[in-house]
Amino acid sequence: MADVKISELRPGVSNVIVSGEVIAKEEPREVVTKYGKKLRVADAILRDDSGEIKLSLWEDDIDKLNVGDKISIENGWITEFKGNMQISIGKNGKLTMQ
């Protein structure tokens, strides 16, 4: 499967491959899942030549990325939260540095 441009992404799409540059990254925060487990999450912004999308980073992935890194996400899925699209890697996805 070929890379999809950020401008072509739509909520509900899964199994996408997206590449881009991390242009912003927030400080991690702690959330409690519906199962009562505490996890760290941080939002980042991923940009390619067609647009930008929020990237949700969980646990170890938070520490792997820095602003300016070029990455590829395989098996990502797109959701919409508060009117904004975001991409998540999830348990089956893969984050690769380029």
Supply the CATH number for residue 87's domain. 2.40.50.140
Domain annotation covers residue 78: yes
User: What is the count of structural domains for the chain?
Assistant: 1
Per-residue H/E/C for 30-96? EEECCCCCEEEEEEEEEEECCEEEEEEEECHHHHHCCCCCEEEEEEEEEEEECCEEEEECCCCCEEE
Q: Does residue 86 fall inside a structural domain?
A: yes
Q: What is the pLDDT, as a whole number, of residue 2? A: 72
pLDDT tens for residues 10-40?
999 999 999 999 999 999 999 998 999 999 9
- Decide if 1 is inside a domain: no
Contacts of 48 (CB under 8 A, 6+ apart): 5, 6, 18, 19, 20, 21
Average of per-residue pLDDT values in the chain? 94
Residue 72 domain boundaries: 6-97
